[in-house]
Amino acid sequence: MASPSSSSLLSLVSMAEPLETSLLISPITHKPNPDPESERISLSPATDDEIFLAEYHRLARVFASGCTERLPPFSSIGSSSSTSVVAAPDAHLASLPFASCMVAKKKKKKKKKKKDRSAEMVRISSPSEQDQIHFRDIIRRARTTFESLRLLIIQDEARRESLGVLEKRSRADLKAAAFMSKRGLWLNRDKRIIGSIPGICIGDVCFFRAELCVIGLHGHLQAGIDYVSAGRSSSGEPIATSIIVSGGYEDDEDRGDVLIYTGHGGLNRNQHKMYAGQKLKRGNLALERSMKYGIEIRVIRGMKINYGPAGTVYVYDGLYRVVNCWTDIGKSGFEVYKYKLLRIEGQEEMGSAMFKLAASLKLGSLSVRKSFYFCNDISMGRETFPISLYNDLDDDKDPLQFQYSHHPIYPPAILEKVHGDGRRGCECETKCSAECYCATLNGGEFAYDASGVLLRGKPLIYECGTACRCQLNCPNRVSQKGIRRRLEVFRSNETMWGVRSWDFIQAGTFICEFSGMVLTKQQAELFSVASRSLVQPNRFPTRWVEWGDISDVFSDYMPSTYPYLPELNFSLDVSRARNVACYLSHSCSPNVFMQFVLYDHYNLSYPHLMVFALENIPPLRELSIDYGVIDEWSGKLTV
């Protein structure tokens, strides 16, 4: 039997020639929900989906490579069933023009004909672990491209302002999404996926609605209900696929697994109050029809935060079903439509619940978990924030057996030689500028934005250091300041030990540094240190290339080759002294990456091993890094 990831599935297959594979994708049929009031909800298996999986794999490869070629007509797949709630798809991949969403008005141009998303709905179920990793990498690449573009646009606007170019600023997130739309890089546009989207995990976090559109989780920039319109449905009925719950309506009631959702319309946006009654049409009707046919709804919750670029995060909380619909008189005296949604059983914990749990942990209000904390701070005050040790599996306290070292310990001869070379730092007495010495070392630019977010990965980064005259709040001093979040070492069934954060971690931000005893190649061979107790810098893959990579949008983009970094032959011995980074688990699809940094010396052969976030990481999600080890160690390694 062919596997779902086999090459045979990458070609288009006629419906008249079914594959002998396990079914993963099926069209959504017009089958009413026999008991919409049922409190117990479970997903049913899909059928007749080989053809759609083949197309999905093929399109995924197109997205991953940034290909913008026109795709062959979908008609070769075969006609849809007359009973499916779909409309005939467009002949080519759809993309949504973003010009109407830009803030600045431009001269009228001849409008191109819009290409809407396909209205054909399919459900994808039970992808293999390898498929899930494959699609996760595709989602991450799209999100990294989006965030890299957004940061680049902000930096470019700031640079133009510094040169005296006065322009009305536009939304960088909308611009980034527009660039990706023009290149055909928006995901999941060829089919309207019902239910879970491969590569997107419960708890995933976005800062902008535009990013939700880019990855296909929710297709509207402003509307809270995403749906297939009646005009594009073969049945003539709209069908809802996802909703955003952000507290915009005063009549919403959110109890987590049970949600009372207020319909769309009649809202005064400035005051969050109703000024008119709602009607059963468009998104409101779509939710009612989804209840009738038992269509599961993706729920994204908007949460206010006091950090990040937008002041709000959008957290994917999984699948719900609409079980009841009624009208009521709202708090403002107008008629509103209300929908009761129940969360489908058997899913992972809600991402929004993890935010609340982490907040409670920081307040120390969870007495139930306290019995599993063996130590409140394994660093013994050496880090700027305490690092907890949590174990709810057994009595193992192994991390307490090691001396905690918050900085790498260099052989004196290495530092003496470097400090004796007379290398100087920058002479800036206030804020460093692009003309300062450290900026020239980085190729004429600083590595971070004003918030300390890494703009793009480099072979090596020079931070202002001990030889510089600039102040400690210099924006080019980031990773040297140490840990800025509450981290936790926890016992894991899969990786023995792991690391997670009580705080949300924004993509591109510094997390921690690998620490231990620095050994030269000769010392490592002489002392015969066990390889499992060595962190070897030259084995880490160049994942830093992925952060800031916009080659899918601009084909002439090249990853940075400067500053130069020689081959690294040293190791970190963590057999006696180590720090929190040594408990990061290995993954071939990681959420953090290694970035080499210099700040306290200029010996290129011995940089610091700094860990940065490759994606937005929600609270209490395990951190994983690619150690560059062989595949059979995947998911099983901590140092």
Q: Lowest-confidence range among 52-61, 320-329, 548-557?
A: 52-61
pLDDT digits (tens, 9 = 90+) for 437-460: 999 999 888 999 999 999 999 999
Q: Lowest-confidence range among 25-34, 81-90, 247-256?
A: 81-90
Q: Lowest-confidence range among 47-61, 85-99, 104-118, 344-358?
A: 85-99
Confidence of residue 51 (pLDDT cuts 50, 70, 90): very low
Hey, how many other C-beta atoms are within 10 angstroms of the C-beta on 130? 11
**List of residues 6+ apart from 620 with CB closer than 8 A:** 354, 357, 358, 500, 501, 502
Confidence of residue 10 (pLDDT cuts 50, 70, 90): very low
- How confident is the model over 9-37, as a mean pLDDT? 44
Q: Lowest-confidence range among 50-64, 490-504, 617-631?
A: 50-64
207, pLDDT greater than 90: yes
For residues 441 and 567, state if they share a domain. Answer: yes
Q: Is residue 638 part of a domain?
A: no
Residue pair 488/378 in contact by the 8 Å Cβ criterion: no
Q: What is the percentage of the chain residues whose pLDDT exceeds 70? A: 75
* Euclidean distance between CA atoms 24 and 53, whole angstroms: 7
- How confident is the model over 561-585, as a mean pLDDT? 93
Tell me the residue type at 231: G
Q: Is 252 exposed, middle or buried (0-12, 13-18, 19+ CB in 10 A)?
A: middle
Write down how long the chain is. 639
Structure tokens at 125: 């179920």
Q: Is residue 355 part of a domain?
A: no
Q: What is the pLDDT of residue 33?
A: 59
Q: What is the pLDDT of residue 31?
A: 60
Query: What's the number of CA atoms in the CB half-sphere (13 Å) around residue 102?
Result: 15
β-bridge mates for residue 443, sequence order: none
Helices 50-65, 129-162: axis angle to 10 degrees equals 30
For residues 163 and 309, state if they share a domain. Answer: yes
Q: Which of 348, 377, 400 is the last residue of a domain?
A: 348
For residues 420 and 522, state if they share a domain. Answer: yes
Query: What's the number of CA atoms in the CB half-sphere (13 Å) around residue 58?
Result: 19
Q: Is residue 550 part of a domain?
A: yes
- Identify the helix (H) or strand (E) that includes residue 608: strand 608-613
Q: Lowest-confidence range among 76-90, 414-428, 529-543?
A: 76-90
- How confident is the model over 259-265, as a mean pLDDT? 86
Confidence of residue 487 (pLDDT cuts 50, 70, 90): very high
360, pLDDT greater than 80: yes
For residues 392 and 463, state if they share a domain. Answer: yes
SS (H, E, C) 216-258: CCCCCCCCCEEEECHHHCCCCCCEEEEEEECCCCCCCEECCCE
* Euclidean distance between CA atoms 101 and 123, whole angstroms: 30
Q: What is the pLDDT of residue 236?
A: 82
Q: What is the pLDDT of residue 308?
A: 81
Q: What is the mean pLDDT of the chain?
A: 80
Domain count, the chain: 2
The 10 Å CB-count burial string (b at 16+, else e) for 103-116 is: eeeeeeeeeeeeeb
| Domain boundaries, position 115 | 7-348
pLDDT digits (tens, 9 = 90+) for 369-411: 778 988 999 999 999 999 999 999 998 999 999 999 999 999 8
* Euclidean distance between CA atoms 22 and 34, whole angstroms: 27
Q: Which of 296, 317, 348 is the last residue of a domain?
A: 348
Q: What is the pLDDT of residue 297?
A: 96
319, pLDDT greater than 90: yes
Q: What is the pLDDT of residue 572?
A: 93
For residues 324 and 472, state if they share a domain. Answer: no
Q: Is residue 43 part of a domain?
A: yes
For residues 337 and 455, state if they share a domain. Answer: no
For residues 155 and 262, state if they share a domain. Answer: yes
For residues 312 and 261, state if they share a domain. Answer: yes
CATH number at residue 118: 2.30.280.10
**List of residues 6+ apart from 497 with CB closer than 8 A:** 398, 399, 489, 490, 491, 583, 585, 638
3-state helix, strand, coil in the chain (%, to 5): 25, 20, 55
Q: What is the pLDDT of residue 366?
A: 63
* Euclidean distance between CA atoms 605 and 108, whole angstroms: 57
CA 43 to chain CA mean position, Å: 25
φ, ψ (nearest 5 deg) of residue 152: -65, -40
Structure tokens at 177: 């999404």
Q: Is residue 203 part of a domain?
A: yes
- How confident is the model over 555-584, as a mean pLDDT? 92
For residues 296 and 412, state if they share a domain. Answer: no
Q: Is 394 exposed, middle or buried (0-12, 13-18, 19+ CB in 10 A)?
A: exposed
For residues 627 and 492, state if they share a domain. Answer: yes
- How confident is the model over 575-580, as a mean pLDDT? 93
Q: Lowest-confidence range among 410-414, 555-559, 577-581?
A: 410-414
Confidence of residue 95 (pLDDT cuts 50, 70, 90): very low
Q: Which residue has the higher pLDDT, 517 or 602?
A: 517
Q: Is residue 358 part of a domain?
A: no
Confidence of residue 635 (pLDDT cuts 50, 70, 90): very low
Q: What is the percentage of the chain residues whose pLDDT exceeds 90? A: 49
Residue pair 121/229 in contact by the 8 Å Cβ criterion: no
Confidence of residue 554 (pLDDT cuts 50, 70, 90): very high
Q: Lowest-confidence range among 37-51, 406-420, 513-527?
A: 37-51
CATH number at residue 400: 2.170.270.10
- How confident is the model over 561-581, as a mean pLDDT? 92
DSSP conformational letter for 264: S
Residue pair 337/280 in contact by the 8 Å Cβ criterion: yes
Residue pair 497/489 in contact by the 8 Å Cβ criterion: yes
Q: What is the pLDDT of residue 480?
A: 95
For residues 335 and 411, state if they share a domain. Answer: no
For residues 167 and 291, state if they share a domain. Answer: yes
Q: What is the pLDDT of residue 54?
A: 46
Q: What is the pLDDT of residue 625?
A: 97
Q: Is residue 144 part of a domain?
A: yes
Q: Is residue 356 part of a domain?
A: no
pLDDT digits (tens, 9 = 90+) for 58-90: 444 444 444 334 333 333 333 333 333 333 333
pLDDT digits (tens, 9 = 90+) for 125-179: 778 888 999 999 999 999 999 999 999 999 998 888 878 787 777 899 999 999 9
